[in-house]
Structure 1
Amino acid sequence: MDYRKLLGKVESAVLPYFGGGTVDAPSRRLHVTSPVEPGWWRFEVKGRQATAREPASAEGLEARPRVRGHLWGARLVREGAVAELLALMPEEQPQRLSPVTARRWHDGTLVFEGVEFEGEAEELARHALEEDRPLGDARGVGASLRAAFGFAVLEAASRGTGIPFAPAEARAHVLDVARDGRPEAEACLRRLEDERARFLRAQAVQQARWEAEARALESAWTEREQTLQDLRQDAEARARAQELTTQERFTRGEASAHRADRSRGAWAAEGFTLGARRRAEAAPGEWAERALNKAGARMLDHRRLGEGLMEVVYSFMGERFVTVVEMATLRVRDAGVCLAGADARVTLESLPSVLKEAIDTDALVITRHV
């Protein structure tokens, strides 16, 4: 078999493009050669590369699982008060709190399908929202509609208080907000604010501890270097042109390497050579994207921060996260969520599993809203 012909095979596929550097076919994730506007496109696929050729009508969507819920902004709120982003919304936006359906694409993204017939419950909830009053114990209002109403009230309270929130952070309290209205929404947001403040205080204490340890280590190295200098001078005085012993050369090199390590930060701490460092700096986004893809997340953006660090923006389980990692190792420096000081114990690839547990247990607290 001539594998060159197989690798050079060009196929055509109609796929939904949601933005970013990739597009998902039924069996694999492809890299988009040139980004285009989100929508349905006919792609020319060669190997793992996909090139958008022309807009197309949706194909294969009817075979995907259907999801029902109620509309809140650009999210579908379904059972369990889960609010997921909807992709490829129509140009004419449906009324808020409308009952909608979507199809789940192969990568988990919800693709908007249409608006369903609504009843009196949606109109009742819409009026209550306009009049800034709670739903109370109104009958006939289903769980997904109540949750969508609660999120809408939280959104209004967020604008008034200036306290941001993500749906996954407030999911455990959203039905209480729907029942009791704005006072409960503001109380929920204040609790989130207090939790973030506690985290930042703890983070500051931890940072101060690390800096103190670094100063102590630096002092110890300075004393060691002085001792070595004294030993060298003594050796020179005894044997003028005698070279340093092999052990002293090693010790001296160890001290110099430590000073270089501190200046290079995360790079040298992991034993990276200058050549390896330059290669890593050349493609940090590719490393991060592969790590997130393996974890079921989608990278949206990234930027270098200096000192060997990189900020990564990505979506996971319908939420947007911002995390700071070391470019050399993808070890987390600031997860962007409250991890009780355990940020450095995870990598960019393992972090999504921690986020999933936090979301599933209603323990998520986002600390970086960028």
Structure 2
Amino acid sequence: MLDSLFTWLLLPLGLVLGWVLGQRSQQAVSGTEATIPPEQLGGLLTQLASDDPDQAIAALTRVAEIDHSTVELHLTLGNLFRKRGEIDRALRIHEALLARPGLSEAIQAQVRREFAYDYLRAGVMDHAEEQFEKLAAGGHYVGEALDQIRIIYEQGRDWPHAIAAARRLEGAQGESRRALIAQYECEMADEARRAKNDGEALQHVRRALAEDSDCVRAYLHLGNLLEARGEFPAAAQAYLRAFQLDARFLPDVIEPLYRCSQKTNSGEGFLQFLSDAKEISSSSLPYVAEARLLADEGLDPLDRLAQGLEVRPSRAVLAQFLEVLEKQPGVIAAGLDKPAASLRLALRRLMESSPKYQCNNCGFSPRQQFWQCPSCKRWGSITPIDEAMRLPGA
């Protein structure tokens, strides 16, 4: 299908090119333009019509003089090759154009831009970066070129160079990239944590917060690092700040806050947090957490879970309600504990297989957190889905 589409695109291109070269031949008869040999024009159209692109490229590069209109036709043909995946042919067209003398600076920049995208499509990132650098240095397509350089480093996970590119882009466009730089610092914190270098990870998290004091990801990182160091009050403050910045992250902070409250014997503070969370968030998780606290104290949490089902019904509350219900003496006596357990297990399996996060930009719904959406590549756009909440401790 691609071959037939490409042929269909080449035919009108050949007709247009024929008209342009024909006009040039007519001008040559009147002495205003150099003559294009008729056999060259006819051969070129034949090669295009028969979908012989190699010979078409050779014929195009033999055209002696190039004005703006013929450059546009070359660029169109090169773009067709690149879209078709024939990167070597696109490169040959654009390389031949760049080698031509007499092109204006603006046309050279336009060709170099296409040349850079050829390398980008081919995966030759260093060559693509070189071309984009030349564009930026020449003052052409500066914002676009610097952004592509940033993306190249981002894809290569070269975070220090990605930060430098983001700062250059910031300077060129006058728009803040500090939130993006904070994400890059968090990426480096992740890498340091995996290398078991928590001290370095903490440095990167603090740099992230220096760039963007509203970075939820950085506060979640900070809480995790401080909790691992046994600094539970400070960790709790970091988790709480993440929730205050974005209440949708309640599923990511409620269990860590519970752990910190247990370590510091601050159950009342955690209860106050749950009370505030009911006002700020539409989540049912505060009811599940309150029921857990009641169970910790040896009290029956069934009424609190029943209240949660009535006020904010969700699978999380229902699963916890069934778990408590199946242990009730009356339920056991009536032989209903096994059906309740079976329903609870089925509900848990459903929750475990459901997406737990969603991108607010494109709707991509993964089961794990991605700080850069794999689909739309937006940073910080994926947040927890309320209906698929994880049960505390699960």
More helix by share: 2
TM-score by length of 2: 0.27
Which has the larger Rg?
Answer: 2
Structure 1 length normalisation: TM-score?
0.28
Structure with more strand by fraction: 1
